[in-house]
A and B are shown apart, each in its own frame.
Chain A
Amino acid sequence: MTRYIKTAVILFLICAICTALCAVVNEVTAPRIAANVEGERLSALSDVSRGLEIGEQVDVGDGSINYYIPLLGGSSVAGYIVELSSSGYGGAMTIIASYDTDGAVMEAMMMANSETPGLGKKAEEPWYMEMFKGLGGESPLPSQKSDLSAEDNAAVSGASITFGGVSSALINGSEFVKGLGGAV
């Protein structure tokens, strides 16, 4: 019995020391990580806005749409930026996309993700989102790899789950924007 208690105490102490060590490092790094993430988000908003004025953020938080921001062209709404959540091969993914008021994708960027380097990580590269641009309005967005051209199909080969996650997120965003109907 004493042996078991001694073993449990040692294991507990090792865990406690390790946890304290992680807590100290977290205390130092957390503000910097938060600042980095916010900086990346603001940079992405600017990149997808195509020079249009960025309006006020409206939180949604329904699981697939985190928030939307109207893009203002003069006094009218020219489009929307939507932050989308989806899941890929490595878990949760966040995508920031801008849409015309008719739901067509203007620009899109992959943000936080844990996709596999060399495979799903390709979704971070600018050419990846080119295959979705201009679609979602009159022309539908691709929902599966077979909807893509042979060249695009080959490019996303080996990362079907990532493609499915990106595609479904952009389709959700497009439907959401259509539902807004140009309102602020």
Chain B
Amino acid sequence: MSHIKELTKGIFKENPTFIIMLGMCPTLGVSTQVSNAIGMGASVIFVLTCSNIFISLLRKVIPDSVRIPCYIVIIASFVTIVEMVLHAFVPSVYEALGVYLPLIVVNCIILGRAEAFAGKNGVLDSALDGIGMGIGFTLSLSLIALIRELFGAGTITLFPVGSFDGVITVPGISESPVRVLTLAAGALLLMGYLKAFFQWKSARSQGGKA
């Protein structure tokens, strides 16, 4: 039962974006298109899960005095692997993520979970924590990107498949979009509203007052 809890806590109860407020830079920077959010989210799931497993395996070997440099080396290696794989097999996502991809190395969620969880817990729980937190981050990022792109540009950008170019244009909104949502100011505004909503939901589910 506790294993399932480790997996699901990152999705809502300890959601890294809306509850713990970690990884704000890529959240605000990449959430301009849904495809970017999914690409970034998938990359974070992979890096977070692999680094959590690796760090958990080595937690009794890594000396306390050099644990942060060790964590950074491990995380940076997995980010480099993701970069190479995306560049080789999904170049469009690699191009779209640009500078945010190498910046996963310093994403607070990755180092935060390594320090707070993987360095102190077993391999299975650490892997589940990585998957759960990664999924929570991906869902949050995708939700923000969906709202920003839908109302800010009147489109939903997914991945091109066959004759489908990957862009769904929404009639009515695309002619007169709320442009501010595509800008950084709009992202912060939306983030604030969503944070307030999740805070209210969280308080409500605990039987408290929002």
Contact = CB atoms under 8 A, between A and B. Distances in A.
Contacts, number: 77
B99 A33 contact: no
Interface of A: 3, 6-7, 10-11, 14-15, 18-19, 21-22, 25-26, 28-30, 32-33, 36, 40, 90, 113-118, 121, 124
A121 B182 CA distance: 14
Given A10-B62, A29-B88, A118 B77 contact: no
A3 B62 CA distance: 12
B87 A15 contact: no
B81 A21 contact: yes
B66 A10 contact: yes
B92 to A, nearest CB: 10
Interface in B62-88: 62-63, 65-66, 69-70, 73-74, 76-77, 80-81, 84-85, 87-88
B88 A36 contact: yes
| 5 closest cross-chain pairs (CB), A and B | A18-B77, A29-B88, A32-B88, A29-B84, A118-B32
B91 A116 contact: no
B192 interface: no
A7 B65 contact: yes
Contact of A10 (B61, B89, B91, B97): B61
Given A11-B70, A14-B73, A32-B89, A115 B98 contact: yes
Interface string B96-133: 11111000000000000000000000000000000000
Contacts of B58: 14
Contact of A90 (B69, B76, B77, B99): B99
B142 interface: no
A28 B96 CA distance: 22
A22 B65 CA distance: 25
A118 B182 contact: yes
B50 to A, nearest CB: 10
B30 interface: yes
Interface of B: 29-30, 32, 36, 58, 61-63, 65-66, 69-70, 73-74, 76-77, 80-81, 84-85, 87-89, 91, 95-100, 182
A139 B97 CA distance: 36
Given A118-B29, A118-B32, 8 more contacts: A3-B63, A7-B63, A10-B66, A22-B81, A40-B91, A114-B99, A118-B182, A121-B98
A116 B29 contact: yes
Given A21-B81, A33-B87, A117 B96 contact: yes
Given A14-B74, A21-B77, A117 B84 contact: no
A117 B81 contact: no
Contacts of A11: 66, 69-70
A32 B80 CA distance: 16
A14 B88 contact: no
Nearest to B80: A22
Nearest to B101: A114
